[in-house]
Structure formats: structure tokens, C-alpha cells
């Protein structure tokens, strides 16, 4: 049975708008003048509360199985770590590069598939990793000793973000597959799971801010407005638009459209924050994006979907968790 062309067109538009919306996530982070952990708290708390209301309004049960609850707890912790590190990476190396690094999560997921689920190492995966590494080298240069400490930490935190985000994605998929019998169908569970994981992350980020000696009170109306907008755009609206398009758009096209997120994050970095960019860096960003696209494995059975064996155990791709990246991408 063929999909209605008008339905496909509407789905593509939702996907495009969602990808553009989440591409502004690092812009909000750069503009807000509050600590990184506090930014993460408000993104997850406001986003989690709104998503929870959306889930309840749709009549989706909040009851989860014990395995799912454990997965959501671990996923929430991973998401909290993801945002705490990624926000700092945005400050240290800029919105564009930090978002690109976070999207390296596709290679972490591919590695999990190979090491733990018997996935084969395809030539396409090897090529994608080479493209990404070469691209990153062209962007940052090959002399680590010439980089200042802050820039180095930005790169390290960006790559650690990719690992934390990959863990978050795996946990959400696992939770989606462990729905109590006769309860919410798995296809409707991701919204609920994202809401619960977001609120768990908010609690942990709140504790983290307290440990760091940071106050959760935002006194600036400007910062408060930006934080709410960040949560609604990156954690709620972008995710709803993108997730609603899955199933209507061919997987290869989904992967290509979602590349708008890291690509546009680079564009906003140049246009809004006057990031200097050379031809070498432009070529590097293009190669890295190509590596991420091929590594995501849309339609090839590896990468972020982790192949049929892992996919059958963990469920479908959930979109940006934030999505695929809101992630940080999220």
C-alpha cells in the first residue's frame, strides 16, 4: 500500500521544520547567561512538564514496567550528563563544532552493535568513520599542542557528549520495548518515556547545580524567556514534529534532512556569532557531516539503528531526544 503523496509532503515539511528548530538549540545555550548545569535543568524540567501534559492529554498511561523504569532512570542520568557536558562544549568551541561532535553518537551506537550484538563491520561504517575523523582534523587542525586548554576541553566534552547521548538513546529504546502487557502500545510510548526521562534528568541536574553552588533562581527576564524558549523548541516542539514524520518519509530522506541540524548549527555559529571559517574548515565540516550520514546507517542496518538484530531488541529510532539529536543535541 502506497503512502498518500500529500501525507508524505506534510511529513517532510514537519521533518524540515523540526530539524531547523532543533538546530537553534546551541544558539539558545550560547545566548543564555546562566551556568551550564542550570540551563540543562530548565530545558529538561520545562520540557518534561510540557511533554507530560501532552502525554496525559492524549490519554497515554504513565504506568511503566520495572525494566523500563530502570532504563529510564539510567537514560535520565545519561541525558543529564549529556546536557551538562554539551552546554560547556558549546561555550568552549562554539555551537557548530559542539553540535557536530555530539552527532558522533552514531559511531558509538555502531560500536555497541559490533561489540555486543554481533553486527558486522561493514565497509560503509569504516569509510564513515574515516570521513568523520579526517573532517574533524581539518576543522580543528592536527596540532593538539597548539590548541588552548579551553578549546581542548570543548573537544573532549563534545566527544563525551556523544557517548552520553548514545547511552540515552539506547535506554529510551529499551524502555519503549518493555511496555506492560495490555498497556500503552510501543508506538505511543516514546513521548511518555521522553517526558519521564526528562524529569529524571531535571532532578539530577538540579542536584548537580546545588553541588556546584549554583542557584536555580533566574533573575533576568531575558534569560528566563530564553530558557523557556529553549525547552519548548528543543525538547518539545522539535521532537513532536520530527517523531510525527517517522513512518511517512523514506529512511534515507529522514537521515539526509536531519543533517540540517548540525549543518545549520554551523551556519548560525558563523552568522550570529561571527565564527571565522576557512575553506579547510568548510571542507572538514562537509566531510564530517558525510561521515555522520553514512554512519547513521539509514537503510543499511548499522549505525544509529544498529542493524536488524539490535533493532529487534531495542525498538525503532526515536528521533531527537531529545531527539535523534535533541539531543543535545541536542
**C-alpha to C-alpha distance for 315 and 324, rounded to whole angstroms:** 14
Give the pLDDT of residue 273: 93
Task: Return d(Cα 234, Cα 330) in angstroms, integer.
Answer: 7
For residue range 15-34, list pLDDT tens digits in order. 899 999 999 999 999 999 99
Q: What is the pLDDT of residue 307?
A: 38
> Which DSSP string corresponds to 106-128?
HHHHHHHHHHHS-----HHHHHH
Is pLDDT larger for residue 166 or for residue 257? Answer: 166
| Mean of pLDDT over the chain | 83
Letter string b/e over residues 154-188, b meaning 16 or more CB atoms within 10 A of that residue's CB = bbbbbbbbbbbbbbbbbbbbbbbbbbeeeebebeb
The secondary structure of residue 237, as a DSSP letter, is I
Residue 106: the pLDDT is: 87
Bigger pLDDT: 36 vs 173: 36
Place of cell 531529545: 322
Give residue 254's pLDDT band: very low, low, confident or very high (50, 70, 90). Answer: confident
Kindly tell me if the per-residue pLDDT of 203 is higher than 80: yes
* Cell matching residue 127: 569509510
301 has a pLDDT exceeding 60: no
Q: Which of 186-195, 268-277, 320-329 is the most confident on average? A: 268-277
Please tell me the predicted confidence (pLDDT) of residue 179. Answer: 64
Instruction: Assess whether pLDDT exceeds 60 at residue 309.
Output: no
| CA separation for the pair 139, 151 (Å, rounded) | 12
pLDDT at 180: 62
Band of pLDDT at residue 255, cut at 50, 70 and 90? confident
Kindly report the length of the chain.
330
Quote the cell numbers at residue 243: 517523531
Residue 321 has a pLDDT of 34
pLDDT attached to residue 8: 82
- State yes or no: pLDDT of 318 exceeds 70: no
End-to-end CA distance of the chain: 35
pLDDT at 175: 82
Amino acid at each position: 500500500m502506497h503512502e498518500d503523496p500529500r501525507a508524505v509532503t506534510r511529513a517532510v515539511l514537519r521533518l524540515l521544520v523540526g530539524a531547523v528548530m532543533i538546530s537553534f538549540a546551541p544558539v539558545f545555550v550560547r545566548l543564555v547567561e546562566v551556568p551550564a548545569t542550570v540551563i540543562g535543568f530548565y530545558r529538561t524540567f520545562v520540557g518534561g512538564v510540557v511533554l507530560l501534559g501532552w502525554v496525559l492529554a492524549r490519554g497515554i498511561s504513565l504506568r511503566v514496567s520495572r525494566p523500563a523504569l530502570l532504563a529510564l532512570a539510567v537514560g535520565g542520568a545519561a541525558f543529564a550528563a549529556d546536557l551538562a557536558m554539551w552546554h560547556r562544549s558549546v561555550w568552549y568551541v562554539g555551537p557548530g563544532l559542539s553540535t557536530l561532535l555530539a552527532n558522533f553518537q552514531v559511531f558509538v551506537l555502531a560500536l555497541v552493535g559490533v561489540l555486543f550484538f554481533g553486527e558486522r563491520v561493514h565497509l560503509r561504517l569504516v569509510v564513515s568513520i574515516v570521513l568523520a575523523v579526517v573532517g574533524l582534523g581539518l576543522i580543528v587542525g592536527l596540532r593538539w599542542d597548539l590548541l588552548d586548554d579551553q578549546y581542548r576541553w570543548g573537544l573532549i566534552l563534545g566527544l563525551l557528549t556523544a557517548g552520553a547521548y548514545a547511552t540515552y538513546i539506547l535506554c529510551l529504546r529499551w524502555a519503549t520495548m518493555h511496555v506492560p502487557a495490555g498497556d500503552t502500545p510501543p508506538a505511543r510510548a516514546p513521548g511518555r518515556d521522553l517526558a519521564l526521562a526528562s524529569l529524571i534528568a531535571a532532578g539530577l541536574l538540579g542536584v548537580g547545580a546545588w553541588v556546584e553552588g549554583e542557584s536555580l533562581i533566574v533573575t533576568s527576564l531575558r534569560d528566563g524567556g530564553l530558557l523557556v524558549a529553549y525547552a519548548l523548541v528543543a525538547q518539545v516542539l522539535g521532537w513532536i514534529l520530527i517523531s510525527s514524520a517517522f513512518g511517512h518519509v523514506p529512511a534515507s530522506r529522514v537521515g539526509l534532512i536531519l543533517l540540517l541540524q548540525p549543518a545549520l548549527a554551523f551556519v548560525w555559529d558563523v552568522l550570529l556569532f561571527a565564527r571565522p571559517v576557512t575553506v579547510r574548515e568548510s571542507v572538514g565540516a562537509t566531510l564530517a557531516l558525510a561521515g555522520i550520514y553514512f554512519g547513521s546507517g539509514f537503510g543499511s542496518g548499522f549505525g544509529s539503528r544498529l542493524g536488524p538484530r539490535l533493532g529487534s531488541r531495542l525498538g525503532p529510532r526515536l528521533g531527537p531526544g531529545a531527539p535523534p539529536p535533541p539531543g543535545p543535541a541536542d
